Amino acid sequence: MNSRPDHNGFTLVELLVVIAIIALLLSILVPTMHRVKVLTQIVVCQANLDGLTIGYIAYTQDNKGGLPSSNTNYYGRHNPNYWVDAGNTPEAIKRGVLWPYIETLDMYRCQANADAFRTSQYFTTPVIRSFSANAYLDGETHSGVSDKVTNYAMIPDPGGIFVFLEEEDPRGWNMNSLMARAKDGWYDKVAAWHDNGATISFADGRAEYWKWRDPRTLIMADNFQPGNVDIERLWKVANPRR
């Protein structure tokens, strides 16, 4: 008679080996899954910007080339020509002239920033709109920096002028247009939600992903950044007169 007990379970060594294998697989799969998520969000945001920009162009075609104003004005002041109204609310978007062309709120918001909240000294709100429009396209003028145009026919090279770009407004306001400053600094804070980059669209209807190259762009601790190649790049597609 065999009195030795049967061992139907795992030994401690075997369990440790299994755990080690699982940990190894996770170390391989998790970064890959994160990368897939990042790439998917970029594709979705580019598609959203494609749609917004096509709606933008359709508006100009229905209005004898007239551009929607890139400005959003201040709270409580509504201009019937603004692409959206000021404020980070669904109502502000629905009051804009592009809403009849793009009646989907999610298309105005970056998917990488969709669940975030903006917190400022004034309030905390969920992110409703992530994109801002180029000041050159009938937007605001600040110290003569933006020589704006008001008609699509006035844009000399639609493929070389940006329309929409992801902006991270630290105030939480999402107010006014996006202004590109002189070659040594920023006026407005560009976003870097997509693997240290952002999506941008152009007046010919296409959208692209731009990876920011200067680490100072990601921090934005100081608006004055001489030699920043990202400022130079954006400057070239903001206003052809510069």
Total domains, the chain = 1
Q: Is the pLDDT of residue 18 over 80?
A: no
CA distance 95 to 78: 8
Chain segment 42-96, per-residue pLDDT in tens: 888 999 999 999 999 999 999 999 999 998 866 555 567 899 987 778 998 999 9
Q: Residue 96 falls within a domain, yes or no? A: yes
pTM metric for this prediction: 0.80
Q: Residue 2 falls within a domain, yes or no? A: no
Q: Residue 205 falls within a domain, yes or no? A: yes
CA distance 201 to 187: 19
Looking at residue 57, its amino acid is I
CA distance 183 to 135: 16
Chain segment 90-137, per-residue pLDDT in tens: 998 999 999 999 999 989 988 787 556 665 555 566 778 889 999 999
Q: Residue 115 falls within a domain, yes or no? A: yes
Q: Residue 48 falls within a domain, yes or no? A: yes
DSSP3 helix / strand / coil % (the chain, rounded to 5): 35, 15, 50
- DSSP for 25-69 reads HHHHHHHHHHHHHHHHHHHHHHHHHHHHHHHHHHHHHHTTTBPPB
Q: Which domain holds residue 84?
A: 12-238
Q: Residue 6 falls within a domain, yes or no? A: no
Q: Residue 3 falls within a domain, yes or no? A: no
pLDDT at res. 92: 87
Q: Residue 5 falls within a domain, yes or no? A: no
